[in-house]
A and B are shown apart, each in its own frame.
Chain A
Amino acid sequence: MSIYLDLFLSFFKISLFTVGGGYAMIPFIQSTVLSKGWISPELLINFIGIAESTPGPFAVNISTFIGYNLGGLLGVFCAISGLFIPPFLIIISIFYVGKKFSSNKIVKGVFIFLRPAVLALILSAFASVAYSTVIVSDGATTFFNWFGIILMVVTFIAMRFLKKIHPIVFLFASAGLGLIFYGFVL
């Protein structure tokens, strides 16, 4: 299968199963992109970081990243088309057919369980990102990143207590602290 068709179909599938917005997409992107060997887990985390700290919907940003890295501009077009088509058709049909969809008894019933399922998947995505933070294997070297653990815990606590500050500020702060520590202290 050509990479373009593969990109389109993969993002079509990811989009179709992403219920509940940006973060819910992370586990599906991980599962698809890593199993196909498209990019390394570390690069994917870098992309997540940049996608979170640039304007626009997270899903669009991360799809553009992966599309561009695999197939240039045509890759972006294929990934974005895949991302765009399923929800567009679904929303349009709900708009014309009737808005009773979200008040349907079975849809509501399914959502009672879909929410904890998606939550569990995002939590397992966190576990894998946390693992890549703690055990760093960049190329030939593998090391235990104790500074990463401290940075992760401190950033998390800061996010919980300083809710008024936008999360991007914390992302940039962690990048800055990383640069200072790994570059100049270590």
Chain B
Amino acid sequence: MSKNIKVKLKNLIILAFTFLKIGALTFGGGYAMISIIEREASAKRKWLTSEEMLDIVAIAESTPGPIALNSATFVGAKVAGFLGAFVASISVMLPPIVIITLISSLLTRYFDNPYVNWAFLGMRAGVAALILNAVINLGKFLKTEKRPAVYAVFFLCLVFGLLSVFHIISFDNIFIVLGTIVFGIIYTLFDSFFKKRKQKILPNKLDGSMTEDDREKK
């Protein structure tokens, strides 16, 4: 019993140190962090197999929240349950919180300095380039995409997104995501309904009425 607690405590301490290190030394967040987590948690500590690591990445990507934070929570839970999840995710956040708080308290004093201003004006162009670069990287999936509905969603969201950022219509971007989720659910239900219908020559009445109910609700 007490040996068990000792092992748990030891695991928690190793977890904390590993994720403090990851949080303090990884630049760029997200995917950069995943490769470091993989190296530390899978290759070095053998906490997870490489398949489990892939599962974690898939879940971290498909759930809300920052990918790095999600992966830390999941790895922590895997190693030491609820407490492990808490320790890992707090540890990964702590170094950047301290660093940014220090930078913030120093920097706000210098925002009036013209030299600082000029440097930030230059950096603005760099930030724009960086975001465009991310769009190109994240948009690679469109190369193999054939469904017209995906392109329709992209262009519709782009129009609403632009209307929103240039304050032509004021609304929260979140409604674009909510609308997309609702559309995705309806599309998937209809898609599977029609596929089933193609497979069976006789339409399945029960299935059909369920989908219609769903459509009316929305």
Contact = CB atoms under 8 A, between A and B. Distances in A.
A116 B153 contact: yes
Given A56-B99, A80-B97, A178-B125, A90 B63 contact: yes
Nearest to B183: A113
Nearest to A73: B101
B1 interface: no
A152 B99 CA distance: 28
A57 B165 contact: no
Give the interface size class of chain A: 35 or more
Contacts of A5: none
A28 B58 contact: no
Interface of A: 13, 15-23, 25-28, 30-32, 35, 42-43, 45-46, 48-61, 64-65, 68-69, 73, 76, 80, 83-84, 86-88, 90-92, 94-95, 99, 101-102, 105-133, 136, 138, 145, 148-149, 151-153, 155-156, 159-160, 166-168, 170-171, 173-179, 181-183
Contacts of A61: 29, 96, 100
Interface in B95-112: 95-97, 99-101, 103-105, 107-108, 111
Q: Chain B interface secondary structure, helix, strand, loop or mixed?
A: helix
Contacts of B103: 50, 54
Contact of A95 (B24, B74, B121): B74
Given A27-B165, A92-B82, A160-B136, A56 B96 contact: yes
Given A20-B138, A174-B122, 15 more contacts: A22-B67, A23-B131, A27-B173, A55-B25, A91-B73, A92-B73, A92-B85, A94-B63, A113-B183, A114-B181, A114-B184, A122-B131, A148-B124, A178-B118, A183-B115
B100 A51 contact: yes
Q: What 6 A-B pairs have minimum CB-CB distances, sorted nearest first?
A: A178-B122, A87-B65, A56-B96, A109-B188, A174-B126, A124-B161
Interface of B: 23-31, 33, 55, 58-70, 73-74, 77-78, 82, 85-86, 89, 92-93, 95-97, 99-101, 103-105, 107-108, 111, 114-115, 117-136, 138-139, 141-142, 145, 147, 149-151, 153-158, 161-162, 164-166, 170, 172-174, 176-177, 180-181, 183-185, 187-189, 191-192
